[in-house]
Amino acid sequence: MDSQSQAIESAKKYLAAATSVAATAMLARTIISAYFPDELRRLISSSLDKLIGHFYGEHVVVIRQNEGLLTNDLYDAATTYLRTKISPTSKRLRANKNRHRTNIIISLDDGECLTDIFEGVQYKWQLVIHRERSNSLYAGSSPVEEARWLALSFHRKYREVAVASYFPHILERSKEIKAADRQLKLYMNELGNWNCVHLQHPATSETLAMEVELKKTIFDDLARFVNRKEYYKRIGKAWKRGYLLFGPPGTGKSSLIAAMANYLRFDIYDLDLNGINGNTDLKRLLFGMANKSMLVIEDIDCSINVQNRDDEGSETETEPGGKAVTLSGILNLIDGLWSANGEERIIVLTTNYRDRLDPALLRPGRMDMHIHMGYCGPNGFRKLVSNYHAIDEHPLFEEIEGLLKEVEATPAEVAEELIRSDGAGIALGSLILFLRDKRKVGGEEVKGRGEESHDGIQNGLECEKIDREEKKVGSEITGGRKRKSRK
């Protein structure tokens, strides 16, 4: 007999003995009440109360992993919750990691106990795993059957508290823990269905290169949205919010979407309108979306030729038996009856040209917040330098910030110059040359750096070999550019 079986047998004997003693005590109390004097009866009854309380003072609740063929949600929630309550004094723990996780999960091992305090009440947990040989005749079945359960014990007077407060607390906390731990997914529509991959975009609110006030406004709005379930219900409005991101290419629209998803812990559903065979398919895809998700339609002005509502009397055939996706279909997706099929959703449209969109798409209730993704400014530049080179100050910052006020450079263009070299001085010098070239041609993008700019970079590289000080490196780069200009 293994140790687990012995533990179970011991527990059975203990419970049998406790039941026998308690039954004897109850019988003795009846006899004492009938035949003993009052004072002696009170003394003996007090002693019996203590004896019964020893065996009946605690409730034990068994939470099994499975109930019949169904999984027990409370067991799953409790195991998730207890991971956050592991004590440093625990002796037997389990460690787990798979390819979809970036962190190692530590949890209780078989027989290990844990104590949790909630609202002043002490709850004792123990994981029990029972294994026995299987009698299954099915081919390929495991030779060993395993049953798992959690044994929760607490004082009997807190039974109602446990059911009314403690268990709901565990269920809610487990949702929060899973939301923080789980790998986000990026869905794409193909042949009328959603297919997904893991979302691994590293953008966060901290790494976004945009103006501080605008960034704060966006993420404050997101935080307010997710905490207003009862408010949306009270006003009779679907729990969703729309964001329109507009601006030139390279201004960080996709990075902002990824940062929003990472902040909210929402999956992204990237809707390609060109891959949809009519409004019916559009509704079917919307119905297949989960709650707490982001629906994204990028470059909506050019991803499909959305018909104007005035011209929708005869829908255009896109393929045999297929219909065109219409503007009415998209409006219903965003703000019609079908949009209320689900809750806590974010809808994001992106475009390079806001003025090309039908005004019906832009009104509040559909696109609640319009976010202009503009060219790189001083704050965005400093965030990029901090991301790429981990510096907060440099002698060349003043000139670069002055140039950024004169020319239009996207964050993507600035980032490309900063990534050219591991040396901050060389990278900043390269950026100065790029911005000067843009200023020279009146803000139009320069195709290629030319020999003159290339020589300036080479001068910077040669200077870095002689003198590693970043200030001198940057000065030599820009100085080489000035000397060539005079020649």
Top CATH class of 185-372 equals: alpha beta
**Average pLDDT value for residue range 320-348:** 76
Q: Mean pLDDT across the chain, nearest whole number?
A: 78
pLDDT, residue 258, reads 96
Query: Hey, where are the domains in the chain?
Result: 3-181, 185-372, 378-486
Q: What is the pLDDT of residues 469-487, one digit of tens each?
A: 545 545 555 555 554 444 4
Q: How far apart are CA 95 and CA 141, in angstroms?
A: 26
Selection from 27, 14, 109 nearest residue 60 by Cα: 14
Selection from 63, 167, 180, 62 nearest residue 116 by Cα: 167
On whether the CB atoms of residues 400 and 431 are closer than 8 A, the answer is yes
Q: What's the whole-model pTM score?
A: 0.63
On whether the CB atoms of residues 286 and 333 are closer than 8 A, the answer is yes
Selection from 254, 253, 226, 230 nearest residue 240 by Cα: 226
pLDDT, residue 177, reads 85
Q: How does residue 328 score in pLDDT terms, banded at 50, 70 and 90?
A: confident
Record the tokens describing residue 315, joined without a space. Answer: 């829908």
Q: Which range has the worst mean pLDDT, 299-308, 375-384, 385-394, 427-436?
A: 299-308
Say which residues have a Cβ less than 8 Å from residue 381's Cβ, sequence separation at least 6: 209, 400, 401, 404, 414
Q: What is the pLDDT of residues 303-325, one digit of tens each?
A: 655 544 444 444 444 444 456 77
Q: What is the pLDDT of residues 413-441, one digit of tens each?
A: 999 999 999 999 999 999 999 999 999 87
Q: How far apart are CA 163 and CA 213, in angstroms?
A: 45
Record the tokens describing residue 170, joined without a space. Answer: 């565990």
Start-to-end Cα distance in the chain: 94
How far, in whole angstroms, is CA 371 from its chain's centroid?
22
Q: How far apart are CA 104 and CA 111, in angstroms?
A: 21
Q: How far apart are CA 16 and CA 22, in angstroms?
A: 10
Q: How does residue 454 score in pLDDT terms, banded at 50, 70 and 90?
A: very low
Q: Which range has the worst mean pLDDT, 136-145, 165-174, 210-219, 232-241?
A: 136-145
Record the tokens describing residue 113, joined without a space. Answer: 């106990």
Q: Which range has the worst mean pLDDT, 24-28, 205-209, 406-410?
A: 24-28
Selection from 158, 184, 187, 169 nearest residue 58 by Cα: 158
